[in-house]
Amino acid sequence: MQISSSSFHNAVDQLSSLPGIGKKTALRLVLHLLNKNGKEIHDFGAAFTDLAEHINYCKNCFYISETETCSICSNENRSENIICVVETALDVIAIENTNQYKGKYHVLGGIISPMEGIGPSDIKVNELIERVKSQGTEELIMALSTTMEGDATNFYIYKKLKDLNIKVSTIARGIGIGDELEYTDELTLGRSILNRIPFENTLTL
Amino acid sequence: MQISSSSFHNAVDQLSSLPGIGKKTALRLVLHLLNKNGKEIHDFGAAFTDLAEHINYCKNCFYISETETCSICSNENRSENIICVVETALDVIAIENTNQYKGKYHVLGGIISPMEGIGPSDIKVNELIERVKSQGTEELIMALSTTMEGDATNFYIYKKLKDLNIKVSTIARGIGIGDELEYTDELTLGRSILNRIPFENTLTL
């Protein structure tokens, strides 16, 4: 590549630093941007310098917010008594899109993973425990991934809260709605049999 | 999505305006950026505001360059007599990577496409013709796509230069090296038979 422009290479490098975007794709994307006029390219960049300046996290639940407390935490129609614990802001968005949950959230910002050197102090676990204690939360819904790390995090939080008489639940794991039994993996199918629910409960949905 | 941050949404919108990046991917990429520190996010954006300010095109061949003439045009070891005509800067990069071409380039910035309303005046065709006339170029290698639009552009340029005694060639179309005959489409295979080359010519490579 013989382009004598450091700003061009810099832009390509920055884009290819994003996950899933290789050098060649980044090159194509930057050339696409260059087809736009100067103001549009500038606006593209400004969106991110702006983000760097203004982005903040809710001091309560660590969800993304420009204000001190996020729109979910400051929404009085949502129950204070129930907190859904998730890994990232993406999970909050996914759960919000279901329109099935009317409590608050707590974004851990990661899960405990000894293999990657991520301990409880690296994520917002202690903040969660403090919050639960001071707020008098009644129920905690653990909505982490079903991986070894997710299970470890669930267990860590469960143990920390054991003496506090707080109900800790995890979201249901089972066969997806519309999925066929024969294509479901054994682990999920096995769990869905172990965690079977009374038929009457499904009628109320 | 209930994120109360316009800078967040703006960044997502800007990323998803790029080709091949949907809303969900953009969301994921911005959240990935947010895991970095403020300076890194700022640098990401600054790369593009910087690009908007500094990017320029070579006044000669319209390749990307921060200086008035690009590194290829100002390279005295490259022949002035032969110009390879391409559609975009990406094509220059692709040809440069082959290390087989030691002439100059001309980046049209598009091809003539009546369907999309792109005429000769929308791309750098007239600049090419002026350049060829004033420079006394001996050969023009047309390296455009083999589409109807590419053929139309080739023909337009060919007709404009017909009276000037300039050799106009197109890059060879045929079966890719390593490809098998039985999997090649009929059009390509047919062309490779029509445009067959003397065996001795392949020995000199």
Greater model confidence, B15 or A65: B15
User: Which residues of chain B make contact with A4, given a CB cutoff of 8 A?
Assistant: 65-67, 70-71
- What region, left, alpha or beta, does residue A45 occupy, with left being phi > 0 and alpha being psi -120 to 50 degrees? alpha
At residue A4, the pLDDT reads: 60
**pLDDT surpasses 90 at A65:** no
Q: What pLDDT is stored for residue A2 in this prediction?
A: 57
pLDDT, position A25: 92
Contact A61, A87 (CB under 8 A): no
Q: Does residue B108 surpass a pLDDT of 90?
A: yes
For A203, what's the count of Cα atoms within 13 Å in the CB-facing half-sphere?
3
Question: Tens of pLDDT along B29-77?
Answer: 998 898 888 899 999 999 999 888 888 889 999 998 888 888 899 999 9
Looking at chain B, the whole-number percentage of residues with pLDDT higher than 70 is 96
Dihedral in degrees, nearest 10, Cα atoms B53, B55, B56, B61: -170
The model's pLDDT over A188-199, given as tens digits with 9 standing for 90+, comes to 888 888 888 777
Cβ under 8 Å to A: B residues 37-76: 38-39, 41-56, 63-67, 70-72
Q: Where do runs of H (alpha helix) occur along chain B?
A: 6-16, 23-34, 38-54, 89-98, 125-135, 148-161, 186-194, 199-203
State the span(s) of chain B assigned CATH 1.10.8.420.
Answer: 6-54
The alpha carbon of B48 is separated from its chain's Cα centroid by a whole number of angstroms, namely 21
**Percent with pLDDT over 90 in chain B:** 33
With an 8 Å Cβ cutoff, is B14 touching chain A? yes
Label residue B205 by pLDDT band (50, 70, 90): low
Identity (one letter) of the amino acid at B88?
T
Residue B172 has pLDDT above 90, yes or no: no
- Other beta carbons within 10 angstroms of residue B70's beta carbon come to 28
Least CB–CB distance from A93: residue in B1, B7, B20 = B1
Residues in A touching B3 (Cβ below 8 Å): 63-65, 70-71, 89, 93
Closest chain A CA to residue B69? A4
Does ipTM surpass 0.90 in this model? no
Among A48, A30, A67, A55, residue whose Cα is nearest residue B12: A48
Interchain contact B99–A (C-beta under 8 A)? no
Given CA atoms A61, A63, A67, A72 in this order, what sign does their dihedral have?
Answer: negative
For B96, name the nearest residue in chain A, comparing CA atoms only. A1
Measured between beta carbons, the chain B residues lying within 8 angstroms of A107 are none
The secondary structure of residue A103, as a DSSP letter, is S
pLDDT of residue B3: 63
Listed in order, the ranges of chain B carrying CATH 3.40.1360.10 are 64-171
Q: Is B107 on the interface with A (CB under 8 A)?
A: no
CA distances from B62 to A169, B12, B88, B109, B123 (A): 62, 31, 9, 8, 10
CATH architecture for residues A64-171: 3-Layer(aba) Sandwich (3.40)
- pLDDT over 90 (residue B107): yes
Name every residue whose Cβ is closer than 8 Å to that of residue A38 and which is 6 or more positions away in sequence. Answer: B52, B53
Mind telling me how many Å the CA of B197 is from chain A's nearest CA? 31
Residue B4 is predicted with a pLDDT of: 60
Element spanning A56, H or E: strand A56-57
pLDDT of residue A3: 63
CATH code of B6-54, in short, is 1.10.8.420
pLDDT tens digits, A1-56: 456 678 888 999 999 999 999 998 998 899 889 888 889 999 999 999 998 888 88
Query: What average pLDDT does the segment B189-200 reach?
Result: 79
Render pLDDT for A76-121 as a digit per residue (tens, 0 to 9): 999 989 999 999 888 898 888 888 889 999 999 889 998 889 999 9
